[in-house]
Structure 1
Amino acid sequence: MLTIGKYSFGVGDRFAHQAAAQLRAFQKLADDGVDVAPVWNKSNREHTFVGSRPQSVYDAAKAAVEKLGWAKPWHVDADHIQLATVEPFLPCSDFFTIDVADWIGKAAPASDIDTFVDRHSELVGSLELAGLSTPLQITGDDVRRVAEQYLLAVKEAAVIYQHIASVKGSGNLVAEVSMDETDSPQTPPELLIILAAMADEKIPLQTIAPKFTGRFNKGVDYVGDLAQFEREFNDDLAVIAHAVKQYGLPENLKLSVHSGSDKFSLYPIIRESLRRTGAGLHIKTAGTTWLEELIGLAEAGGDGLELAKEIYLYALDHVEELSAPYASVIDVDASKLLDLATVQQYSGSEFASSIRHIPANPMFNASMRQLLHVSFKVAAKTGSRYTDLLVANEEIVGKQVTENIYERHMRPLFLG
């Protein structure tokens, strides 16, 4: 079976120009003694917005791997796919993020729920699992409630997985199940019940992405109770380790954190938990690369800065339209967005400082960064003008991309 390494790191590349710059960060980390597998990801929604095809992600990644002589594993993720959207990803992906959020809360047939509850009496009681902060307290009513909430979603994941496996071959793919894009977080007891259902459906998932408590907004830091996240994360690791032994799930099954990027305050917690437990991790950072491109173009000045300003000013006039598809994962305060006159007067370094995620910098503007994070399709509308500028300013843009991934994400997460 194709297996993903202990540590893997998802990177997005909206315009398929930064794969080599991204890969350099993985090389730098490998030079530090930590091997992390790159996973290039791009969702069907993002392809639709920019007019690209899934094959472009594979092609860009393969070119980068060959250019830099990367001899370690790498993957291409069909990100947040469903049965209706998976087909174009099948020839060019080996990692499949199966998204079943739309089925959460829809009840499976009553007979299926009854069968599940009867089959899993071992879930009921005070469960003392190794590594838990406190025993899990699960009642029979809890098992039924969770089955009513999630069993149909798990069955849909099985349908999608079987379809992918029928085309790719079950030994030629890495399966992840994503439940993070939903309203309510899954608690550790709920995760255990869900994993029991996954095993019943014979889904050989290698990573699972639950929704954690707190806000995971795009492009900015975590908003929530750090102590609660630490308890949840550690308890989830304990639940996964138990489920692997109890239900025969793949031994390399690991937790996946769909971060929305830049959850800096969580990195020390995650790093210490991985050190203490020896667990693996998949973390998906996605869209920061597009912002680093804008930062690089701004720093380059001239036409690059002019276009960066144009994109922002267009976004400023279309805040609601651009934000709507991402309403659950951004918090843009319109009153804090820089106005047209201010931005027009900005130098390249000032514009870059406004959106480069260094919270200690007094110029950093979280609302401006989040708005631009979801405005990549504005750049796509410029056609080759945007991508031509990426090529013309490849060195300065690539430097921003590499430094962002390595210095702000990888080092704090894996090295400290």
Structure 2
Amino acid sequence: MKTLAKYSFGVGDRFAHEAEAQLAAFEKLAAQDVIVSPVWNKSNREHTFVGSEPPSVMAAAKAAIESRGWSHDWHVDADHIGLKTVDPFLPCSDFFTIDVADSIGKAPSDADLDAFVAKHGELVGTLELDGLSEPLTITADDVRRVGKQYLSACAEAAEIYRYIADKKGADEVIAEVSMDETDAPQTPPELLIILVALADHNVPLQTIAPKFTGRFNKGVDYVGDLTQFEKEFNDDLAVIAHAVKAYGLPENLKLSVHSGSDKFSLYPIIRQAMNRTGAGVHLKTAGTTWLEEIIGLAEAEGDGLALAKEIYQTAYDHVDEFCAPYASVIDIDRSQLPGADTVAGWSGSEMANVIRHDQSCPSFNPSVRQLLHVSFKVAAKAGQRYTDMLKANKEIVGTQVTKNIYDRHLKPLFVG
């Protein structure tokens, strides 16, 4: 299999214009002898909304790599794919985020469930693993309950992986299994049972994305109990280390944090856990680059600011439509969304301060930021007018993109 580096970081680029600016952030980190692999990600849903095709992500990433002379690993992620959506991604991706959320809770056959429980008696009892906050206590009923909830999803992950590997060649595939788009978080004991099931199916996953406790809303900070997250994250690392040794999973298997965009309060916890254990991490930042484009256009004043205001107004007028697909990962206080008269009077810097995720700035408005985060279809509808504006303001937009990824994400996560 193709091997994913210890540290990797997913970057979205909705309109395929910021790959060089994104890569510049990784270069700044590499200058400090910290190498993190950029992974350009875009889902089928995002392609559908924007009207783009999967090869555009590879083309933009490759052009940036060649232009800037990046000599380290990089990847292109077919984000949140299934059997029905994966084919267009096969020629132009090497990282595949296998999404099996729809199969979570789908009961397996009684025979399959009985066989799994019978095969894995070693899971029952009290497990004292290195790094756990407390021993895991798992009963036979727990194994059956978790198996009933997740075995079908694991079987689907195996089916999707085999399809990709058969079509592309296993040596060209990095597999991630995503379990995060579901209602309930997975506990460390549940994660262990899931990993055992994936090992039974010979899925060589290199990252797994569980759903953690708390709210992972798009483009804003974590909402939840930091002490609980720290315990859960560290226990998950212990479970993964055990599963690698006991069940033959890839040695570089690591946690993947989805909707990791702007989870600033979690970065010290994750960094400390990596330093303590030597574990790696994959973090996916979703659509923050698109927001930095809007900030850059606002800062540019003139036509750029006018277009940024127009995009916000359209988003405001269609808030229900744009928010519906993302309802589980946004929390917007509509009373905090300014109307047209207010926005019309903003200067470029005032609008930028409202959107930019600077929690020390009194103007920052997380509701505006979240609304714009999920409203990129407005810019897609503007088409060439929007992309021409990006080209005309490449320098100021690129500065925002690089600064956001490096200063707010890579530096606190990997340097401190």
How many angstroms does 1:259 deviate by?
A: 2.7
Aligned equivalents of 1:362 and 1:172: distance in 2? Answer: 48
Residue 284 of structure 2 corresponds to 284
Aligned equivalents of 1:309 and 1:130: distance in 2? Answer: 53
Residue 28 of structure 1 corresponds to 28
* Equivalent runs, 1:253-402 vs 2, <5 Å: 253-402=253-402
* Identical pairs, percent: 74
Aligned equivalents of 1:99 and 1:110: distance in 2? Answer: 24
How many angstroms does 1:19 deviate by?
A: 0.3
Q: Deviations 1:214-257 (Å, cap 9, x if unpaired)?
A: 00000000000000000000000000000000000000000100
Residue 235 of structure 2 corresponds to 235
Letter in 1 for 2:408: R
| Corresponding residue SS for 1:76 | strand
How many angstroms does 1:406 deviate by?
A: 0.2
Aligned equivalents of 2:26 and 2:220: distance in 1? Answer: 22
Aligned equivalents of 1:23 and 1:410: distance in 2? Answer: 12
| Corresponding residue SS for 2:208 | strand
Residue 152 of structure 2 corresponds to 152
Aligned equivalents of 1:171 and 1:144: distance in 2? Answer: 34
Would you say the 8 A contact 1:260–1:287 is kept in 2? no
Aligned equivalents of 1:113 and 1:317: distance in 2? Answer: 49
Aligned length: 416
Q: Deviations 1:84-111 (Å, cap 9, x if unpaired)?
A: 0000000000000000000000001110
Aligned equivalents of 1:319 and 1:32: distance in 2? Answer: 42
Q: Deviations 1:265-289 (Å, cap 9, x if unpaired)?
A: 0000000000000001000001000
Aligned equivalents of 1:124 and 1:260: distance in 2? Answer: 33
Q: Deviations 1:259-310 (Å, cap 9, x if unpaired)?
A: 3410000000000000000001000001000000000000001110000000
| Corresponding residue SS for 2:58 | helix
Would you say the 8 A contact 2:101–2:182 is kept in 1? yes
Residue 56 of structure 2 corresponds to 56
Aligned equivalents of 2:231 and 2:402: distance in 1? Answer: 32
Residue 250 of structure 1 corresponds to 250
Residue 216 of structure 1 corresponds to 216
Residue 87 of structure 1 corresponds to 87
TM-score normalized by the length of structure 1: 1.00
Would you say the 8 A contact 1:208–1:254 is kept in 2? yes
Residue 178 of structure 1 corresponds to 178
Aligned equivalents of 1:2 and 1:44: distance in 2? Answer: 23
Would you say the 8 A contact 2:260–2:283 is kept in 1? no
1:131 aligns with 2:97: no
Aligned equivalents of 2:2 and 2:195: distance in 1? Answer: 21
Aligned equivalents of 2:83 and 2:95: distance in 1? Answer: 15
Aligned equivalents of 1:225 and 1:137: distance in 2? Answer: 23
Aligned equivalents of 1:385 and 1:290: distance in 2? Answer: 15
Aligned equivalents of 2:192 and 2:205: distance in 1? Answer: 14
Aligned equivalents of 2:383 and 2:61: distance in 1? Answer: 22
Aligned equivalents of 1:253 and 1:390: distance in 2? Answer: 38
Which segments of structure 1 move beyond 3 Å, counting only runs of 4 or more?
none
1:7 aligns with 2:10: no
Letter in 1 for 2:43: S
| Structure 1 unmatched runs, 5+ | none
Q: Deviations 1:58-98 (Å, cap 9, x if unpaired)?
A: 00000000000001110000000000000000000000000
| Corresponding residue SS for 2:8 | strand
| Corresponding residue SS for 2:285 | strand
Q: Deviations 1:338-376 (Å, cap 9, x if unpaired)?
A: 111111000000000000000110000000000000000
Would you say the 8 A contact 1:146–1:193 is kept in 2? yes
TM-score normalized by the length of structure 2: 1.00
Aligned equivalents of 1:181 and 1:313: distance in 2? Answer: 30
| Superposition RMSD in Å | 0.5
Q: Deviations 1:26-80 (Å, cap 9, x if unpaired)?
A: 0000001100000000000000000000000000000000000001110000000
1:409 aligns with 2:409: yes
Letter in 1 for 2:285: T
Would you say the 8 A contact 1:206–1:252 is kept in 2? yes
Aligned equivalents of 2:216 and 2:46: distance in 1? Answer: 19
Letter in 2 for 1:65: I
Aligned equivalents of 1:196 and 1:171: distance in 2? Answer: 23
Would you say the 8 A contact 1:14–1:290 is kept in 2? yes
Letter in 1 for 2:369: R
| Corresponding residue SS for 2:382 | coil
Q: Deviations 1:112-133 (Å, cap 9, x if unpaired)?
A: 0000000000101110000000
| Corresponding residue SS for 1:90 | helix
Aligned equivalents of 1:101 and 1:353: distance in 2? Answer: 36
Would you say the 8 A contact 1:354–1:365 is kept in 2? yes
Letter in 2 for 1:397: V
Residue 163 of structure 1 corresponds to 163
Aligned equivalents of 1:295 and 1:19: distance in 2? Answer: 17
